[in-house]
Chains A and B, each alone.
Chain A
Amino acid sequence: EVQLVESGGDLVQPGGSLRLSCAASGFSFDTCSMHWVRQAPGRGLEWVSYISYSGSPKYYADSVKGRFTISRDNAKGSLYLQMDSLRAEDTAVYYCATREDSGDYLDNWGQGTLVTVSS
């Protein structure tokens, strides 16, 4: 069974940093490209970032480019999102998700981790 478990969400002050993790199990993580998607409270889904199975290429939404960095450790079965220069508008539940290659969609999702940016 595919399992994705996010962690690292917390309350952080504006301008601060946070690192999210996503622990993957139940599938071949090292052959699977991954995404981060977020959802602000009461709002819709916003795609954040992508990383291929090999670690490159990586893509970012304009709203986070230059501030967030996606990475992965295939040996550990883990995906990461380093978030710097955090803003109030980054407050959201952050989900990691697997990319299904043949159909190019997000077929498995974690339960999410909440990031709150506030002073």
Chain B
Amino acid sequence: IQMTQSPSSLSASVGDRVTITCRASQGINNYLNWYQQKPGKAPKALIYAASSLQSGVPSRFSGSGSGTDFTLTISSLQPEDFATYYCQQSYSTLYTFGQGTKLEIK
């Protein structure tokens, strides 16, 4: 299953609302997860099962979608949110990740 994220990179300002899109090459129900990765660090789970917030993750992060189209939304960007974001499907036993979206400060 191929996962395609858009955009590949995004410039935004603190306080902006940002949306990242992830599309699966076939239907995956809601088996879609989102991760945040900062330079030199391991990824961190943000959202699982398309819309469930991982414990400890701020409520400004939200996820939606089902089937083939999914979104990650950050309602009001904070300085610590500038990072790379990845979607990942767990519908297939062979997991796959999107190529990533790098969120940069404008």
Residues of A within 8 A of B (CB): 35, 37, 44-47, 50, 57, 59-62, 95, 100, 103-107, 109-112
Contacts and interface: CB of A to CB of B under 8 A. Distances in A.
A35 B42 contact: no
11 contacts: A44-B86, A44-B100, A45-B88, A46-B97, A62-B94, A95-B43, A104-B31, A104-B49, A105-B90, A109-B44, A110-B42
Interface string B23-49: 000000001010101000011110011
A24 B49 CA distance: 25
B52 A50 contact: no
B54 interface: yes
B11 interface: no
A106 B45 contact: yes
A100 B52 CA distance: 13
Contacts of B100: 44-45
Nearest to A106: B45
B59 interface: no
A94 B95 CA distance: 16
Contacts of B88: 45, 47, 105-106
Which 10 interchain pairs have the tightest Cβ spacing?
A: A103-B48, A109-B42, A47-B95, A105-B33, A105-B48, A104-B90, A44-B100, A45-B97, A59-B93, A44-B99
A34 B93 CA distance: 12
B70 to A, nearest CB: 13
A45 B86 CA distance: 8
